[in-house]
Amino acid sequence: MYVELNLIQALLAVVSGVVVGFSLGLIGGGGSILAIPLLLYFVGLTYEAPPHSAAESYIDHVVIGTTALSVGLNAYLNSYMHFRKGNVSLRNGVAFSLPGVAGAVSGAYVGHLVGGGLLLFLFSFVMIGIALVMLRSKSAGVKEANTTAGLKVMGSRLVKVIPVGFAVGVLSGVFGIGGGFLVVPALMYSAGLTMIRAIGTSLMAVGTFGVTSAATYALFGELSLEVAVLFLLGGLAGGYAGTRLASGLPNVTLKKLFALVIIAVAFYIMYQNFYAVSTLL
């Protein structure tokens, strides 16, 4: 669908893309968490709902669809930047992403059957648990080996990566999130990747999940291609800065930063969904 933006809103959309791109390039996640409020409250995205649609529901769908495409394209862009720095494992990325798409479709169906607010509130505790495990873990992941023996080990790890990719896809679909905060630790512990390689590789999955979701919304005309392109333009600068910073940080420091961001986002999700939970008590 076409969304008319004035010059100020267009510039704010580019700035928002910088923020989203920087987050994805630095830690491989946070795109959807940032993009939705930025679109609504910073850019001030508004549009007229079709006569047959409930205005509030239509707004939600357009924002989600546009966010999915914006984050997906930015993730692919950042993945390429990380690839140029040697931070991407293509084999693990493909093995994780393809079953993840199937899982995301299945999870989205399940998510429609259960209250989203309650699910997200409970999921925030899972996020905190993941973050605490990462903070307590002293290892930063194991680099992939290039020897013949190493290739055999890599093959055995793919047996773990494929089902884990499907499981993360299911969770991503159920909770309606891009999945970066799940994909990074999942790749570290299933594929044995270092933190920086897990971040670079995770962006392949985040991009695939986002573009797949956006395609669904596009079928119903519930996304703005113009806004997504503006986000992508900003993502070029933000992604470059985030990727460069992430590549220069020690793996242990990057892992701690990632874990702290997860905790902050978890508390934000708790706050956003507390009302939905309180109505059930």
Residues 6+ apart with CB under 8 A from 177: 32, 33
Q: Is residue 1 part of a domain?
A: no
Q: What pLDDT shows up at residue 127? A: 83
Q: Is residue 112 part of a domain?
A: yes
Residue 216 tokens, joined: 């669904």
- Give the CA distances from residue 280 to residues 126, 166, 276, in Å, rounded to whole numbers and listed in that order: 20, 31, 7
- Residue matched to tokens 């590789």: 201
Q: Is residue 2 part of a domain?
A: no
Residue 1 DSSP class: -
Q: What pLDDT shows up at residue 22? A: 94
How many CB atoms within 10 Å of residue 218? 17
The three-point CA angle 47-66-128 to 5° equals 120
Q: Is residue 229 part of a domain?
A: yes
The pTM for the full model equals 0.80
Q: What pLDDT shows up at residue 159? A: 85
Per-residue pLDDT of the chain (281 residues; tens, 9 = 90+): 556 678 898 999 999 999 999 999 999 887 877 887 888 788 887 655 555 544 444 455 677 788 888 888 999 999 999 999 999 999 999 999 999 998 888 877 776 566 556 777 877 888 888 888 888 876 544 445 444 444 444 556 778 899 999 988 887 777 666 667 789 989 998 898 999 999 999 999 999 888 887 887 788 777 888 888 999 999 999 999 999 999 998 888 888 898 888 898 888 888 877 876 777 66
Question: For residue 132, which amino acid is it?
Answer: L
Query: The domain containing residue 230 runs over which residues?
Result: 7-278
How many CB atoms within 10 Å of residue 225? 14
Domain count, the chain: 1
Q: Is residue 49 part of a domain?
A: yes
Tell me the C-alpha distance between 212 and 234, whole Å: 22
Q: Is residue 68 part of a domain?
A: yes
Q: What pLDDT shows up at residue 6? A: 82
Report the chain's terminal Cα–Cα distance, integer Å. 40
Q: Is residue 134 part of a domain?
A: yes
Q: Is residue 81 part of a domain?
A: yes
- Give the CA distances from residue 132 to residues 16, 169, 173, 202, 242, in Å, rounded to whole numbers and listed in that order: 30, 22, 24, 20, 24
Q: What pLDDT shows up at residue 151? A: 45
Write down the number of H helices and E strands in the chain: 10, 0
